[in-house]
Structure 1
Amino acid sequence: MAQEHTARAAIAGISSMAMRPILALLAARYECETGRCVTIVSVGGVEASLRVRAGETFDFAVLASDAIERLAADGLVDPESRVDVARSGVAVAVAVGATHPEIGSEAALRDAILRAGRIGISTGPSGNALLHLFERWGIAREMAARVVQAAPGVPVGALIANGEVELGFQQLSELMTMPGVDIVGPLPPEIHAVTVFSGAICATSRRRDETLRFLAWLTSGEADAAKCEHGMEPA
């Protein structure tokens, strides 16, 4: 009977890769505490939005807040159900054993980027933040041939570890779990880029009440420690 109850109560979500380790841990804890199963597909943020737009059946989505806002504007998620789950900063990383460049100030980071060979960025919010910085610094044209943008769903850490790029930028939560990668540190305070990840109920949800309970649990104090363990902060 217990297994049948869990199966009936299961809710399904989709998230960006940055939230994968946190949500996997929290979904497991939620099931232990409530007996209700939560399944989550984690893919690149662009792909996740496209799958929601294509009408795939999900009860909820957890994505960068601007992506959730766009989905809400198009009626694909319920804006009234939106909750801010976590805040994530962008980190700088190199391959294990490589020299750590000085990145303690905006000027130092700019110099490190200009000295590096190839730079790895994502297709998500962290990548956009770097491209905007290049524009502001007036080096966008110079950097164009040296920037390697990871394919959707491919971690920047993989490009660092296999030697494809010398310096990589991505959400700390994604870089810190990658083998072969050393975290140099966050972006300097004056240009620190923070992404808020939000959750909302999808228009295709068939389990609204249970999904609302899970989203509320994601923002409860019980979930805070898991966020900190994985390089994020409670929103």
Structure 2
Amino acid sequence: MAETLRVLSTLALRGAVHSLAGRYEAAGGARVEADFAPTLALLDRLRGGEGADVVILTREGLDEMAREGRVVADGCVDLARSYVGLAVKAGLAHPDIATEPALRAALLAARSVAFSRIGASGILFAQLIERLGIASEINARACIIPSGFTAERLVTGEADLAVQQISELKQVAGVEIVGPIPRELQTPAVFSAGRVAASSKAAQSDRLLRFLASSEVAPVLRESGLEP
């Protein structure tokens, strides 16, 4: 039976990790058992002593874990860059969000906007609506979720627009990506991976890290909505 590596990963990489895990095992690598949550939740779990072999977090989160000695600093690798975007329920009109004024108007016109409370995209969005001067209007009718996929609230009809990393929006069936928030209004998140210091499977974990950082995984990352 193939050895199993436990991976804790941010939600933004769920689609890519699911696709890559099967390829890795088929090529003779260890079986990957992955669990997904927002970075801030994963940081709490790691600090609480939860075991894992490899973690995929925002670069800032991974650096925190390395400083605390929970992740081996040598060997950490950057995997992908990710932008925050908007989605609507499939079949509905796509609002214009190409410019700052157009985005502001689209957000104000929405009956409700779904975003996450602790994910990187939710933190960015909360700062963005403050910058746009519409925080009170948007928050008054927002659908704020503690974790998970915001686009699910489009399918249930609880929101007209969903905000999240594009790779996360793409995980939900029945929705359509409108596009990224204008890039001048956001700083892309960088997602990175490292080996957990307490892992007893150092060699196997490092092999997986090399695979995840290799050029052969780039098409899978792009397909999932990420930039290698």
Q: CA RMSD in A?
A: 1.5
Distance 2:96 2:137 in 1: 21
Letter in 1 for 2:45: R
Partner of 1:146: 141
What is the deviation of 1:200? 0.9
What is the deviation of 1:191? 1.6
In the superposition, the TM-score normalised over structure 2's length comes to 0.94
Q: How does 1:80-229 map to 2 (within 5 A)?
A: 80-122=74-116, 123-152=118-147, 154-229=148-223
Letter in 2 for 1:17: L
Distance 2:174 2:41 in 1: 26
Letter in 1 for 2:122: G
SS at match of 2:151: helix
Number of matched pairs:
227
Distance 1:156 1:100 in 2: 17
SS at match of 1:232: coil
Partner of 2:56: 62
- Of Structure 1 and Structure 2, the greater helix share is in 1
In the superposition, the TM-score normalised over structure 1's length comes to 0.91
Partner of 1:79: 73
What is the deviation of 1:142? 2.9
Distance 1:173 1:143 in 2: 23
The answer to whether 1:49 aligns with 2:43 is yes
Structure 1, gaps ≥5 residues long: none
Structure 2, gaps ≥5 residues long: none
Distance 1:49 1:194 in 2: 20
Measured against aligned partners, the alpha-carbon deviations of 1:168-194 in whole angstroms (never above 9, x if no partner) come to: 111111112312211111112322441
Distance 1:180 1:225 in 2: 23
Distance 2:127 2:149 in 1: 20
Distance 1:210 1:180 in 2: 38
Task: Give the ranges of 4+ consecutive aligned residues of structure 1 lying more than 6 Å apart after TM superposition.
Answer: none
